[in-house]
Amino acid sequence: MDDVAAVNRRRWNALAEAGVEYTVPWLEIDRAKARGYLGDFGVDIDPAGLDVLCLAAGGGQ
């Protein structure tokens, strides 16, 4: 692992240990909750039937 990756890992670990919102899995989410959450940001789309590329989707949310 290079220095950049090591710094990144340490920082994300610290954020996760602090319980930062975007590092905590949202396991109880359902379609209605997801739409409500996105609506808070002015996003009003329905991805049903669409091909969706999820970038950085391996994290908490």
Helices (H), 1-61: 3-17, 31-39
Whole-structure pTM value: 0.49
For the beta carbon of residue 24, count every other beta carbon within 10 angstroms: 13
Question: pLDDT tens-digit profile of 4-60?
Answer: 999 999 999 999 999 888 788 777 888 888 888 778 878 777 778 888 887 776 655
Distance of CA 58 to the CA centre of its chain: 7
The set of residues, in sequence order, having a beta carbon less than 8 Å from that of 6 and lying 6+ positions away, is: none
